[in-house]
A and B are shown apart, each in its own frame.
Chain A
Amino acid sequence: MAMISEEHSKEKLGFEETELRLGLPGGGGIVNGDFGKNTNANGKRGYPETVNLKLNLSLKETEKGENLQKEKNLISCSNNAVKPPTKAQVVGWPPVRSFRKNVMAVQKSNSEEGVGGTATFVKVSMDGAPYLRKVDLNMYKSYQDLYGALGKMFNSFTMGKCDSQGMMDFMNESKLKDLLNGSDFVPTYEDKDGDWMLVGDVPWEMFVGSCKRLRIMKGTEAIGLAPRAMEKCKNRS
């Protein structure tokens, strides 16, 4: 097989000066500056958290050194400087269709305990918004994470209390009644029994396991849910 040297072909096409190196994944930043050739046998860059665990330590050390060097040279966009995602957080990878993932997840949970790393996609609708979204609940570790993501997703429609703090307040039972009267939007979900519940009243893992779909309701409509939520809470504790 013909082996054209990298340098030769780059000169031919005039790419040397404009050569771009991989920055961070997730679209983060255009990288300027020359890091020199990647002469490592493994040629890895930019994924400290997904490093193949089989590599021995000394390789890992040199890699970390390289990565630090790169991070210093990064010019990234203000709201785009995120750390490399761990495997579980990379959207759409591995490329298994949600249809298949959901089927496998159900079969798995029927035969074993625990959720494992499978994805749980649920639809999210917001009253007044013209289209639905989908979220993978397994991508978030807490209600706060989820609220942040929901807030971003629907930010063109929300006013007032639909931010991280606003939604966090709903977790506080004593504030529930006061807030429901005044707030604009309330996150609710349909659980496995088909009941509509306020988001936040059960431990996070239990929520992920029982949530079938999410609906961000207008606060006034959610008032009827509050007493039930509190009841269910009391019955559980």
Chain B
Amino acid sequence: MAYSFPEEVLEYVFAFLSSDKDRNAVSLVCKSWYEIERWCRRRIFIGNCYAVSPQIVIRRFPEVSAVKIKGKPHFADFNLVPEGWGAYLYPWISAMARSYPWLEEIKLKRMVVTDESLELISKSFKNFKVLVLSSCEGFTTDGLASIAANCRNLRELDLKESEVEDLSGHWLSHFPDNFTSLVSLNMSCLGSEVSFSALERLVSRCPNLKTLRLNRAVPVEKLPSLLRRAPQLVEFGTGAYSAEIRTDIFSNLVEAFSGCKHLKSLSGFWDVVPAYLPAMYNVCSRITSLNLSYATVQSPDLVELISQCPNLKCLWVLDYIEDAGLKALSSYCKDLQELRVFPSDPYGAEPNVSLTEQGLVTVSAGCPKLQSVLYFCRQMSNAALIAIARNRPNLIRFRLCIIEPQAPDYLTLEPLDTGFGAIVEHCKQLRRLSLSGLLTDRVFEYIGTHAEKLEMLSIAFAGDSDLGLHYVLSGCESLRKLEIRDCPFGDKALLANAAKLETMRSLWMSSCSVSYGACKLLGQKMPRLNVEVIDERGPPDSRPETCPVEKLYVYRTVAGPRVDKPDFVWTMDEDAALRLS
């Protein structure tokens, strides 16, 4: 007792711990540290909204000011999770409204958010400051109007790629005239036109506005007016970047951009007319982040722009950039850390652009700081992957999508096992990997053995047998999220590695060969997992037990089976197994 610090001192020390991992470790030291820590934790991250319940969270952490919650599994982005699956925000808000009156921040990803929830947020939290809705859905612009009208201290409203039912642009006009605290506004996913004069006035009266991402409906000729009112902007997203080519519009843009001495990030550029791109050249030398992924501009124009950005750290672009453009990128942008190349024509049978594996190899060679890659292309070779691995052992994220499922090495017609094997062997810090192309069980052996830091793995149309899945589940010490579609993985590997699943956040398997019987068994064996069978063909017990389920989602939880399941989801647990068999 003589050796222990007073609580206040410990609390003060703990305040310096920002990472959840550290705080979790601290809370395991002893009971008194657990108690002190839980009272002073202010920021909560819930990686799976069904892993825990609002009541459990509130009971443990009574004084929270910021929550971040993730809902649907990642494959929901590609329509693999049927509508109505779950991830409803409302129960969280209604519980937090009572218990966290001083909540300031809510950040959500893949949750279903209703107008009712938004209204409750706007009225329950008097000091509410930050709302980030990333890939969310279920709300309309009326919900946004509530937020605008009632959150007097709002700093951040970010609708990152959410699906909003756009009833009108009128919501923006609900920000009161004396509202001046806005720091960040991202409305790029909305369709409707907002009142431009309301927008102008909002921008004028918010001196701390650093991020403004407009939606497509704001035409290019109106940009100068906004930029002039916010020369302190750091991040700017244009609207549609097209108009008939007029010198007065152009020169206004040049002047307005020149006034923004702090701009670091640019995005938007829908419907871009190349002639207007040079209007930004004056700011390009400071630009570190460029999102051109909606800009349907050809390679030469892209290269012109990129060549002006020597400090570029992050580039999102369409495959119009082609190998030639990527070569230019690799010579002009030596600071590049993140590259994402999206397909302009993902469903076309034939390539429409000259973008191959070569572009990525060149960038990997020329950009020593490259650590994060997302690349869509139509051909790949083991040689290229090996070169990339050797060039860039510092890769942290590597997501490759070869558009044709099961495409082999186009030079040798072999599987791409050795190529991806090289990636996991050389890139020892790799945390995220997405595979594609023709792959046998062998690649999973390499991954299981070498990918020690791998946290998230995405697999599609790969593997030969359960062995593949077994390699991954019995290796990959750091694995947290595994998502698999259309692979011949079945019962054996899953059941043999059931314990591994409790060390992970979640496992998704769709169109694989896991039988209903195995799912039931898994649910019985592992009471701390929710084993959800998602099947739109009707109750799984109306088919033989050996019949594979359509989709399987397994996640660890302390909250038990969820109570808000739709009729196409079944949780396998002891009770269910008895009831259904």
| Nearest CB on A from B403, distance (A) | 5
Contact B548 A133 (CB under 8 A): no
| Nearest CB on A from B558, distance (A) | 27
Contact A21 B464 (CB under 8 A): yes
Contact A132 B445 (CB under 8 A): no
Q: Knowing A41-B412, A54-B410, A119-B347 touch, does A92 contact B79 (C-beta < 8 A)?
A: yes
Q: B82 on the interface (CB 8 Å rule)?
A: yes
Q: Knowing A26-B511, A79-B537, A103-B294 touch, does A52 contact B408 (C-beta < 8 A)?
A: yes
**Interface residues in B161-205 (C-beta closer than 8 Å to A):** 161, 163, 189
Q: A50 on the interface (CB 8 Å rule)?
A: yes
Q: A158 on the interface (CB 8 Å rule)?
A: no
Q: A72 on the interface (CB 8 Å rule)?
A: no
Contact B401 A94 (CB under 8 A): yes
Taking a contact as CB atoms closer than 8 A, the residue among A9, A78, A116, A121 that contacts B79 in the complex is: A121
Q: Which residue of B lies closest to A10 (CB)?
A: B467
Q: B349 on the interface (CB 8 Å rule)?
A: yes
Q: Knowing A30-B548, A97-B77 touch, does A152 contact B536 (C-beta < 8 A)?
A: yes
Q: Knowing A77-B543, A92-B80, A99-B163 touch, does A9 contact B467 (C-beta < 8 A)?
A: yes
Q: Knowing A1-B446, A42-B408 touch, does A18 contact B466 (C-beta < 8 A)?
A: yes
Contact B445 A92 (CB under 8 A): no
Q: A36 on the interface (CB 8 Å rule)?
A: no
Interface string of A102-137 (1 = CB under 8 A from B): 011001001100001111010100000011111010
Contact A43 B438 (CB under 8 A): yes
Binds B, one of A83-91, A140-148, A178-186: A83-91
CA distance A26 to B548 in the complex (A): 10
| Nearest CB on B from A195, distance (A) | 18
Contact A92 B78 (CB under 8 A): yes
Q: B567 on the interface (CB 8 Å rule)?
A: yes
Contact A134 B83 (CB under 8 A): yes
Contact A91 B347 (CB under 8 A): no
CA distance A103 to B415 in the complex (A): 34
Q: Is the interface of A mostly helix, strand, loop or mixed?
A: loop
Contact B405 A15 (CB under 8 A): no
Contact B84 A132 (CB under 8 A): yes
Contact A91 B80 (CB under 8 A): yes
**Interface residues in B240-270 (C-beta closer than 8 Å to A):** 270
Q: B314 on the interface (CB 8 Å rule)?
A: no
CA distance A52 to B488 in the complex (A): 21
CA distance A88 to B346 in the complex (A): 10
Q: B367 on the interface (CB 8 Å rule)?
A: no
Contact B405 A93 (CB under 8 A): yes
Q: Knowing A111-B296, A116-B345, A156-B567 touch, does A94 contact B403 (C-beta < 8 A)?
A: yes
Q: B470 on the interface (CB 8 Å rule)?
A: yes
| Nearest CB on A from B521, distance (A) | 15
Q: Which residue of B lies closest to A119 (CB)?
A: B347
Contact B78 A133 (CB under 8 A): no
Contacts of B536 in A (CB 8 A): 152-153
Q: Which residue of B lies closest to A157 (CB)?
A: B567
Contacts of B513 in A (CB 8 A): 20, 23, 27, 29-30
Q: Knowing A19-B467, A26-B511, A30-B490 touch, does A6 contact B270 (C-beta < 8 A)?
A: no
Interface string of B339-363 (1 = CB under 8 A from A): 0001111111100000000000000
Taking a contact as CB atoms closer than 8 A, the residue among A10, A27, A123 that contacts B550 in the complex is: A27
Contact B401 A95 (CB under 8 A): yes
Taking a contact as CB atoms closer than 8 A, the residue among A26, A47, A110 that contacts B271 in the complex is: A110
Interface string of A23-43 (1 = CB under 8 A from B): 101110111000000100111
| Nearest CB on B from A66, distance (A) | 14
Contact B466 A100 (CB under 8 A): no
Interface residues of B (CB under 8 A from A): 75, 77-80, 82-84, 135, 161, 163, 189, 270-271, 293-294, 296, 342-349, 376, 401, 403-408, 410, 412-415, 418, 421-422, 425, 434, 438, 440-442, 445-446, 460-461, 463-467, 470, 485-486, 488, 490, 492, 510-513, 515, 536-538, 543-544, 546-550, 566-567
The 3 closest A-B pairs by CB, nearest first: A117-B347, A131-B84, A92-B78
A-B contact pairs, 8 of them (CB 8 A): A26-B511, A41-B413, A44-B406, A87-B405, A92-B80, A104-B344, A117-B345, A131-B83
